[in-house]
Amino acid sequence: GRFTLQQIANTGLAMHDAEFIAHLVGYLPKQELQKLAVLSPGGAAGVLLVHELVVRAARTRDGTVDLAGEVERYLDRLEGEMTPSALRQIHLSRKALLDEHARRGCGEPDWLSYALLQLEGVKCDVFGKYAQRPIVSSGSLAALMSCIDAREQYAFSLPQGKRLAYYSACVDEYGIALDGAQGRIKAELLHHLGKAYRRCGDIDKALATFQKLLEIEPNWHATLGQIVHLGTQHGVGDTTRQAGERALHQLLGLMLESSASVPLRVAMAVLSNLRSYPSVVAQLNSDELSVKSLSRIINQAALEGLDQFYDAFYAFTSKFGYEHPDVSFKLVSAAGDMFEISPESIGKSHLLSVGETLANVSQNALRSGDEGLARRLSGLSLVYAEALLAEGDPDGFTRRGIAKIFTVAGHSSRALEVINVVPVDKLDHWLLYRRAEAELAQGMPEALATAKDALIRAQADPRAEKNLAAYFDMMSRCLSAAGDTKGALDQTQQALAHCSGGRFLRELTDRLALLEAKAWG
């Protein structure tokens, strides 16, 4: 027991990831120490605190070098898979890893360099040096994964105009390295070759590469996730879309069978892409047990504090919150801490997802009669709308989202300010829909003309086909406000004809009955 305590105490850390501790001292000793309260649960999921007095008494030397070595051995055991446990331990060991890196210098890439590439604010000092190294299949897995990851990070640092040529050069180099590659190294090279093809816009070659990899590793989650992502790209052919849908079914099947079977990062990316697969969404929507299972996986990502949680949660609430409001209310309560943090700490890329998610759930809460929850969530959503505006000049897509947030929160005049800045030739039907919604809330007669314009443009856009019911419904509401009950009735009938079912169909049916009573009453 004393040696076990020394091992933990010598790391110098007051908290560790629970799975890492089991790797460090063994599973049974870890359980014993938990029984003795030497190790106790930390504030975050999966973290164990080490009793302060024990650390002081048992420490015999500075073991930061040993800690860095153990983190490397842990990553080696995981074959570099960035599980939540691995990411947590890397973050907790940040100082020891940096000290060891300073001691070693930038030598051969290894699991230490791979760990540093996962740390924001650190990786920029590392990727430049390793991105220049040649990609070879004869070295270690750690060296290959470090060099490829360094290239991905380096590519993001390039101006948009230079990225295509860079990815194209990567395609050539990965292709050459594949010659003679074996096992896991071959699989990694194929996976990243497929990603490089996708980034070069060569969708067919990307798909063929991923499918070749699946022949070797049929259940490789990250590759199935990449195929799902390919199917969502604008303008792809039927073959790619169908492959994406098959991969999505395969991943969802695994996720629903066992929530821990798919790495959380991949699971979140899959859920974020659900929006592009309406038939899969419709299938899931008719099965409440599946929706609940998926919500539990999202909640797990919230507990792990994963960044990808926000986009997945947005997709989930926008697609399932309407039919299953209670599930999304429970999820908001369970994951509440993820929304209570300041916009600065969330990161720019997630602000819109978070704001719109809160607006969506707030709307559903209002429909379900929970005014208190609706007010709390719409109030929170405004923080994100303001943060997005403070970022500078948002694009049209972002303005559409900000306008929605303001209108849902009862600030429709702010919504109009946000939209009216957009030049007339840049107004698409998504923006016009939000403008009509805000004008209607303000009681402005212009709402009808705006709604009509939005509907005409939406009918000309194949991507808006599945949303047409909402555009006819907006026309109906504007006509009703203008006193034209007969016209409103016609538009609601059109909305019903374009509606695919579910709760919206029931709401439209109720609206139709009210309008008929008014028209013929």
H/E stretch holding 16 reads: strand 15-17
The rounded distance, in Å, linking the Cα atoms of 475 and 433 is 10
Of 122, 114, 137, which is closest to residue 184 (Cα–Cα)?
137
pLDDT at 167: 95
Whose tokens are 């000092």? That residue is: 125
pLDDT at 47: 85
The rounded distance, in Å, linking the Cα atoms of 327 and 304 is 20
pLDDT at 106: 78
Q: Which of 104, 119, 140 is the last residue of a domain?
A: 104
Q: pLDDT averaged over the chain?
A: 90
Contacts of 358 (CB under 8 A, 6+ apart): 339, 377, 378, 380, 381, 384, 405
pLDDT at 128: 78
Query: Residue 341: exposed, middle, or buried by beta-carbon count in 10 A (0-12, 13-18, 19+)?
Result: exposed
- Average pLDDT, integer, range 103-113: 89
Q: Would you call 117 helix, strand, or coil by DSSP? A: coil
pLDDT at 231: 95
Number of domains in the chain: 2
Rg (CA), the chain: 26
DSSP 374-440: HHHHHHHHHHHHHHHHHTSS--HHHHHHHHHHHHHTT-HHHHHHHHHTS-GGG--HHHHHHHHHHHH
Of 282, 372, 284, 281, which is closest to residue 332 (Cα–Cα)?
372
Cβ(177)–Cβ(135) under 8 Å? yes
Residue 47's domain spans which residues?
2-104
- Average pLDDT, integer, range 270-298: 92
pLDDT at 125: 75
Domain assignment present for 492: yes
What is the widest separation between alpha-carbon atoms in the chain? 89
The rounded distance, in Å, linking the Cα atoms of 320 and 164 is 37
Q: Which of 71, 87, 104 is the last residue of a domain?
A: 104
Of 298, 358, 296, 360, which is closest to residue 323 (Cα–Cα)?
360
- Per residue in 149-194, pLDDT tens? 999 989 988 998 999 999 999 999 999 999 989 999 999 999 999 9
Domain assignment present for 15: yes
Q: What value, to the nearest 5°, has the Cα angle with vertex 81 and ends 79 and 85? A: 115
pLDDT at 492: 97
Of 319, 390, 329, which is closest to residue 365 (Cα–Cα)?
329
* Residue 17, φ and ψ in degrees, nearest 5: -70, 140
* pLDDT over 70 (residue 482): yes
Whose tokens are 């210098």? That residue is: 105
Domain assignment present for 75: yes
- Average pLDDT, integer, range 486-491: 96
Domain assignment present for 495: yes
- Per residue in 376-404, pLDDT tens? 889 999 999 999 999 888 999 999 999 99
Cβ(432)–Cβ(454) under 8 Å? yes
- Average pLDDT, integer, range 228-238: 92
Amino acid in position 88: R
Q: Assign 3-state DSSP to the chain and report helix, strand, coil percentages, each to 5.
A: 75, 0, 25
Cβ(503)–Cβ(323) under 8 Å? yes
* pLDDT over 70 (residue 44): no
Domain assignment present for 472: yes
| Percentage of the chain exceeding pLDDT 90 | 60
Q: Which of 104, 120, 155 is the last residue of a domain?
A: 104
| Percentage of the chain exceeding pLDDT 70 | 98
Domain assignment present for 59: yes
Q: How confident is the model at residue 84 (pLDDT cuts 50, 70, 90)?
A: confident
Domain assignment present for 416: no
Q: How confident is the model at residue 227 (pLDDT cuts 50, 70, 90)?
A: very high
DSSP 39-65: EEE-SSTTEEEEPHHHHHHH--S--HH
The rounded distance, in Å, linking the Cα atoms of 287 and 90 is 39
Domain assignment present for 410: no
